[in-house]
Structure 1
Amino acid sequence: MAIASVLSNQRGHTDALLNHVYLQLKRDGVRMVGALRVAPAIAGTWDCESDLWLLPDGPMARITQNLGPGSTACRMDTGAFEDAVGLATTRLKAGGADLVILNKFGLSEAEGRGFRALIADALGIGLPVLIGLSPTHRIAFERFSGGLATSLPSHEDAILAWCRQEASP
């Protein structure tokens, strides 16, 4: 089982880092499935606007819902999120991937939903999984991975080295 996590305490750092890693691996010919979070079009809306780019070739999926200008909270659009999970899972099952990359092990995964089954399926067929992690869900991730996950430093070179070692195009 090859699963690795990347954790950063800086908001948005892991997303940007995983996007850079994805682009480099794609140039190297590594075939990937999964989902990565992209920066919002309007600066300052990072907290409540969440778009996932479904690997390898889209589409973009908006997984949050707009609650209006008076709202002080953001809400996950669970239907849109589950649609994104379904498409990524279909791509995994179609085969032809060397690596799964996911933007994060978040609340949905911590509660037993989201990309959790896709992660298990990938590991079950021998595909390595690289996933972003926040301090908030670290304990749930460690429980899920049974302590078998590699914790990578949030440095592009270290992440690329792990991916190149585990994924063979």
Structure 2
Amino acid sequence: MLGYIIATKTQTANTTLTEVSRRLLAEGVTLVGACQINDDPQDGSPYHMDLHLIPDGDIIRISQNLGPLSSGCRLDGAALEQAAGKVQSKLAGDPQMLLANKFGKQEAEGRGFRPVVGEALAAGIPCLLAVRDETVPAFIEFTEGMGEELPNNVDAVMAWAKQTLLETA
């Protein structure tokens, strides 16, 4: 009922989760959530982080420009909360699955998508998400060890999703 991919700074799960969401939607699965898509400006400036909300297609930029000399976290916490709130409102429609882009630092601290994941699990809605390697301990504590670690592979994640959907139908 809870599947997760461990992501690192050098190996994100963004592409895998985006493709899985595309395939599940094409198969008619009632899916809600958010996929993170980062652009590459090709000019040496920092990439932008955008959340693409499922199923509406709304895009919320969750990165902020802190200036050329900044080396701090560029996450816009308010934008992340806005995205999480929009996704959380979709849980009332009784979706078949929730896909959350990441359990990162904000979620480890109780914010971001953490309440959304908690509400979905409490309602019996299967969840699929990425977990940053540095936040795995907080994730394990939050989920009380429930969940299945999945390889960062589209076919393997799709197999897990289809099996989970069969089991919860």
Q: Same fold (TM over 0.5)?
A: yes
Report the counterpart of residue 18 of structure 2 in structure 1.
19
Q: 1:44 to 1:17 in 2, by over 3 A?
A: farther
Give SS of 2:13's match. Answer: helix
Give the secondary-structure state (helix, strand or coil) at the position aligned to 1:54: strand
Report the alpha carbon displacement of residue 45 of structure 1 after superposing the two structures with TM: 6.9
2:128 corresponds to which of 113, 127, 130:
130
Aligned pairs, how many? 167
2:146 match: secondary structure: coil
Report the CA distance shift for 1:119/1:21 in structure 2 as closer, same or farther (over 3 A): same
Q: Deviations over 1:60-111 (max 9, x none)?
A: 0011211122323342222211111111111112x14111001110001101
8 Å CA contact 2:39, 2:47 repeated in 1: no
Counterpart residue type for residue 49 of structure 2? S
Distance 2:4 2:87 in 1: 19
Aligned to 2:81: 82
Secondary structure of 2:60's counterpart equals: strand
Q: Which amino acid aligns with 2:121?
A: L
Partner of 1:143: 141
Distance, in Å, in 1 between the alignment partners of 2:47 and 2:6 is 20
Q: 1:107 aligns with which of 96, 105, 108?
A: 105
Change (3 A) 1:44 1:116: farther
Gaps of 5+ in 1: none
Counterpart AA for 1:154: N
Q: Are the counterparts in 1 of residues 40 and 48 from structure 2 also a CA contact under 8 Å?
A: no
Q: CA deviation at 1:13?
A: 3.6
Per the alignment, residue 161 of structure 1 pairs with 159
Identity of aligned residues (%): 35
Work out whether residues 65 and 77 of structure 1, in 8 Å CA contact, stay in contact via their aligned partners in 2.
yes
Give the TM-score, by structure 2 length: 0.89
Q: TM-score, normalised by structure 1?
A: 0.89
Partner Cα distance (2:60, 2:145) in 1:
31
In structure 1, distance between residues paired with 2:24 and 2:145: 26
User: Residue 38 of structure 1 aligns to a residue in which SS?
Assistant: strand
